[in-house]
Chains A and B, each alone.
Chain A
Amino acid sequence: MQFEGEPVATSWTEQAEAFTKAFTEAQTKVWQSWFELMRAPERVMPFSSGAVDQWRELASQGLKGWTAESEQVVKDVAQRLHVAQDTAMRFLELSLRAWKTVAPKVKSGEDWQTIFANYAIHLRQQLVPSSESDGTAKTVQDMAELWRLYQEEWQKLSQPWAESWRRASWQFGQAATGDGSALIKLTNLYWDAYERTFGRLMESPSLGNTRELNEQLLKGFDSWMDFRRASFEYQVVMSETWCRAFERFIGKLVSLSEGGEPIEDLRQILFLWLDVVDEIFLGVFRSEQYVRLQGRLMNTAMTYRVHEREIVEAFLKFSHLPSRGELDEAHRRIYELRKELKELKATVRQMYSLGEGPQ
């Protein structure tokens, strides 16, 4: 692997050295930003998110290059190692932003607890939109843009529904963990898929029974809206939990310091953060309110999926192709026949053992 401005590395050792250097430089920039800001909070901090991006890019390159020939388990572990590091860096970014906001006030002599409490409120307002309509407007905007992009590419994929679901499955995971952009992507996937399949189908003059399809589409869209609302409610709680975790983390740092146990180790600070976040999130996860919220997210997602399949099955029917439901039904009949066969075999065996079989 060769990086810009670096001599060509020929051996593994040289590659590793070059990588370590670049890797460390990128991360050091972020840490330096931290300390510079601490020392001179009145200056506007030119925080370089580019440094974090650079780090991510390098880590990603390293992973791909060095585990290209590895087994899947190894690739997965390397990937998770990268994600863990990346998360730690994101934490650093968040902490930096927090400090950037409150540092000038601390310097001017305000009480730090009050400042952090206010900061948490501010953060909450940023993370949690004041009304759903704001989010909807943004989504509609994005949807229109995506629709346009789609028009350019709509013939590229031969199996749009399969593709959209393949992508939707992991985006659902992202949505569940609080990544708002994933929801917008889900919206887009829905309309992408619609446009590539039924949008075309509806325009076909040879297709007569469109009312039934329309009803299914409307039901599908309703269930998608339900899911989206549930996702939004879920994200609100997750965002608030992140705020509380951050408040608690800062409080812990301060109390450790005041108790004569200052943080002196990089890993100490990362692990303290992880402990605090785990504690706060687990507290929420155990609550009845969360259980219901997660249940609603899950249940609406499943309802949406069921409606989606009904639509797909109608499409397959029109195309004279077997559907999932038909295959499931065939499997059910085979299962029942096999069970019956096993029972008959057992009965025959028993008869033989009692000397009642054919002579």
Chain B
Amino acid sequence: MIPFLSQMQPEEFTRQLIEMNRKVIKGIESLGRIRDEDFQVGVTAKEEICREDNVVLYRFTPLVERPFPIPILIVYALINRPYMVDLQENRSLVRNLLKLGMDVYLIDWGYPSRGDRWLTLDDYINGYLETCVDAVRQRYGGEPINLLGICQGGTFSLCYSSLHAEKVKNLITMVTPVDFHVKEGMLNMWAGCTPGQPSLDVDRMVDAFGNIPGDFMNFGFLMLKPFQLGIRKYLELVDIVDDEEKLLNFLRMEKWIFDSPDQVGETYRQFIKDFYQGNKFIQGQVRIGSQLIDLRKVTMPVLNIYAEEDHLVPPASSKALEHYVGTNDYTVRSFPVGHIGMYVSGKVQRDLPPTIVNWLQERC
């Protein structure tokens, strides 16, 4: 007899099986009772400041009487929705920044339609982002503002800051890819950091799809950890079905994960070719509109925050920033979590907002 087999007790396994099934059924029952209004996301009060095409600029209602004098504009990625920074009341980077006296703005890129497929990085960075920065500045006497760029939004913020340094007082980048040829990142490899076109012919893909479907993007992200994200997570779900709060948290996260806007074809093409495949960002060869992006022109103070266990943006990819920016005031901080943990981990939610606020206050 193979040793491990003789040590299994069928009766005990059957008992466990019955217990697990009861939990599964209770889980389905609990799920069936939940309605959309039970797990709302992005609940912190906000007002629309301006709108251009699909893009909307919001200002969150301050929670203190006299907020910090320099506003902070959050620039999120085009992938997934920005309400991740305000997922729920007790897991909200936005809310925590507001509590600490910040005046917080956020860009919502919206859901691009097929008609938007020709938008380029130039339209996003020198167009929409510029419009939002100017709209915020206009409310504060035209003074430069603070930028907080997250993930791809961090890359956009770096591009913007190198082109319009005079409009950015301080720059914070969070889980931001900079060196796209770091091979620890499977996303980098799949997007073509090593063989280039043979691993992803992005021209052909954009020609075929127009805009890259959000579901297609999601499939790719799930394939990075297929069994953990596709199976284990749901087997573990049965353990929390008795806990309504945890179940609702789970559903909020699911809502966010699968709420994926399509990716604008031309922007996606340029981002994959220039950043992932060509790694031109750190070589000063990315062209936005008529200008080359030169990271040495990022001369304002920079706070670079990365996640130590990030499987989407490897730490080395973010940390590379210090070798390329022109600022003399560069700070780096890390947290022992993964990419998503930066938004939802209790410990990070406790420590990250004061890290940002203290750093900004020292540079007011």
Contact = CB atoms under 8 A, between A and B. Distances in A.
A67 B226 contact: no
Interface residues of A, number: 80
B291 interface: no
B25 A84 contact: no
Interface string A307-321: 001000000000000
A286 B186 contact: yes
Given A253-B4, A264-B12, A274 B227 contact: yes
Contacts of B255: 73
Nearest to A296: B198
Contacts of B195: 288, 291-292, 295
B9 A264 contact: yes
Interface string A8-47: 0000100010011001100110011011001000000000
B198 to A, nearest CB: 5
Interface string B1-36: 111111111101110111011101111110110111
Dominant SS among interface residues on chain A: helix
Give chain B's interface residue range (CB within 8 Å of chain A): 35 or more
A78 B227 CA distance: 17
Nearest to A298: B200
Contact of B29 (A16, A73, A263): A16
Prevailing SS type, chain B contact patch: helix
B186 A285 contact: yes
A294 B251 CA distance: 31
Interface in A110-141: 112
Given A31-B13, A81-B234, A274 B228 contact: yes
Contacts of B1: 38, 106-107
A295 B17 contact: no
Contacts of A73: 36, 39, 251, 254-255, 258
B205 A298 contact: yes
Contacts of A107: 1
A31 B35 contact: no
Contacts of B20: 266-267
A193 B157 CA distance: 47
Listed residue (A77, A112, A263, A294) with the most chain B CB atoms within 10 angstroms of its CB: A77
Given A70-B34, A288-B194, A306 B204 contact: yes
A180 B200 CA distance: 23
Given A328-B117, A339-B123, A267 B235 contact: yes
Nearest to A16: B25
Contacts of A31: 10, 13-14, 17
B324 to A, nearest CB: 26
Contacts of B123: 339
B165 to A, nearest CB: 20
Nearest to A75: B31
Interface string A73-101: 11011101101110110000000000100
B295 interface: no
Contact of A266 (B16, B190, B201): B16
A69 interface: yes
Contacts of A309: 208
A302 B205 contact: yes
B195 to A, nearest CB: 6
Interface in B322-342: none
A339 B26 CA distance: 55
Contact of B199 (A20, A173, A294): A294
Nearest to B185: A286
B237 interface: yes
A254 B207 contact: no
Contacts of A35: 8, 10, 13
A28 to B, nearest CB: 5
A236 B23 CA distance: 38
A85 B186 CA distance: 27
B118 A331 contact: yes
Contacts of B346: none
Contact of A69 (B32, B189, B208): B32
A74 B3 CA distance: 43
Contacts of B201: 295, 298-299, 302
Interface stretch (A151-159, A181-189, A214-222, A275-283): A275-283
A71 to B, nearest CB: 4
A12 B29 contact: yes
A295 B199 contact: yes
Interface string A240-263: 000000000000011011100011
B119 A81 contact: no
B36 A81 contact: no
A85 B235 contact: yes
Interface in B184-222: 186, 189-190, 192, 194-195, 197-201, 204-205, 207-210, 219
A78 B29 CA distance: 10
A3 interface: no
A256 B205 contact: no
B164 interface: no
B31 A78 contact: yes
Nearest to B234: A84
Contact of B25 (A23, A257, A286): A23
Given A16-B29, A296-B198, A299-B204, A291 B258 contact: no
B32 A294 contact: no
B69 interface: no
29 contacts: A23-B21, A23-B24, A28-B14, A28-B17, A62-B25, A67-B28, A74-B31, A77-B251, A78-B31, A83-B231, A84-B235, A84-B237, A112-B2, A254-B4, A264-B7, A266-B20, A267-B235, A274-B228, A285-B224, A288-B195, A291-B189, A295-B197, A295-B200, A298-B205, A299-B201, A302-B207, A303-B208, A309-B208, A331-B115
Interface of A: 12, 16, 19-20, 23-24, 27-28, 31-32, 34-35, 38, 62-63, 66-67, 69-71, 73-74, 76-78, 80-81, 83-85, 87-88, 99, 106-107, 112, 173, 253-254, 256-258, 262-267, 270-271, 274, 277-278, 281-282, 285-286, 288, 291-292, 294-296, 298-299, 302-303, 305-306, 309, 324, 327-328, 331-332, 334-336, 339, 342
Interface of B: 1-10, 12-14, 16-18, 20-22, 24-29, 31-32, 34-36, 39, 114-119, 123, 127, 186, 189-190, 192, 194-195, 197-201, 204-205, 207-210, 219, 223-228, 230-235, 237-238, 250-251, 254-255, 258
Given A28-B18, A335-B115, 6 more contacts: A24-B17, A77-B251, A85-B235, A294-B190, A299-B198, A302-B208
